Structure 1
Amino acid sequence: MPFINHKTYIKVPLEVVYKTISTSHGWNAWFTDDTSLEISPDGTGEIRLRWKNFGCENVNIEDRGKILEATPNKKFVFQWSPGEQNTTVTFTLEPYKDGTLVVLDETGYTYSEKDVKACISCAVGWGEALTLLKIYLEHGIVYKQDL
């Protein structure tokens, strides 16, 4: 099965990275538009990701999914459907040097044409997203494209 794996080092504490990837405000600050999420006390919940006028094609994208695990300062896991079926995105946070190693894995793609296209697109997208997260957290810079 195709899968995605990215890693990046961000020079901020685990707590700061976790708060950014586990809250609506955090997602909307660095990557999405009007994303919402709710986490229950048991660490599960719902997420709705939204992008408005995204990319050079100015598309509106919305996807919903379940939050499978939200372990403070360690892991944030959710499902969404960028292809034919649900995939699982896992952010794992590890202390590293003076900051945090962020490991992103996405699994659940099949070899169908639609899933392979989605996997390739998301592999590129998650790499760019982690770069945006790093720039936002380390330097306070937000890049949102206005075309």
Structure 2
Amino acid sequence: MLRIPEMEFIEYFNAPIEKTWTTFVNHCGWDPWFTDGMKIDLYEGGQIYFRWKRLTQGQIVEDKGIVISIIPHKIMEFWWYEYDDGYRSRVKMTFQSDAARGTWVKIEDRVFVSNVNELDIAFGCAFGWGQMLCLAKAYIEKGVILI
């Protein structure tokens, strides 16, 4: 395995933690603002099914994962990005409210790649998290779906 640094993404949402949490952690996942037919089993060991169509120019892209842990209104952690030799991405999403009734969301992504030829896996994840947080912010704060 090639050792690459853990990626970290942080975004502030001008919304209560309850609303922010349920937008990210629910049975339908990140539909309708980012995915198209995502499903999450909301328990440790539960399955995650990712599906995109709108963001992939009509091509259906699917992946799956496994829930590692869920601590309500605090943490959701999961494996995803299935590859030939297993899952390549371990993600921890942390939710923290502040005094202004807003919510900080931090995404920590540990991506595993075998060699430099697989760095596109990490780059794709980095691009995707930034895009996902931007779309989530518009949806949570303004009720707008940008895709």
TM-score grouping bracket, smaller chain normalisation: 0.7 to 0.9
Name the counterpart of 1:107: 110
User: Residue 109 of structure 1 contacts residue 115 of structure 1 at CA under 8 Å; is this kept in 2?
Assistant: no
Tell me if structure 2 keeps the 8 A contact 1:83–1:115: no
Secondary structure of the residue aligned to 2:30 is: helix
CA displacement at 1:53 relative to structure 2: 4.5
SS at match of 1:16: helix
Distance (Å, rounded) in 1 between the aligned partners of 2:123 and 2:103: 26
Closer, same or farther in 2 for the Cα pair 1:37/1:26, shift >3 Å?
Answer: closer
1:73 and 2:73 matched: yes
Query: Gaps (5+ residues) in structure 1?
Result: none
Between the two proteins, what is the percent identity of the paired residues? 27
* Root mean square deviation, CA, Å: 1.9
Normalising by the residue count of structure 2, what TM-score does the alignment of the two structures yield?
0.85
Equivalenced residues, count: 141
1:38 to partner: Cα distance = 1.2
Residue 127 of structure 1 and its aligned partner are, at CA, apart by 0.6
Inter-partner Cα distance in structure 2 for 1:110 and 1:51: 23
Q: Distance in 1 between matches of 2:11 and 2:130?
A: 9
Q: Distance in 1 between matches of 2:55 and 2:83?
A: 18
**2:28 is the counterpart of 1:21:** no
Inter-partner Cα distance in structure 2 for 1:53 and 1:139: 20
TM-score under structure 1 length normalisation: 0.85
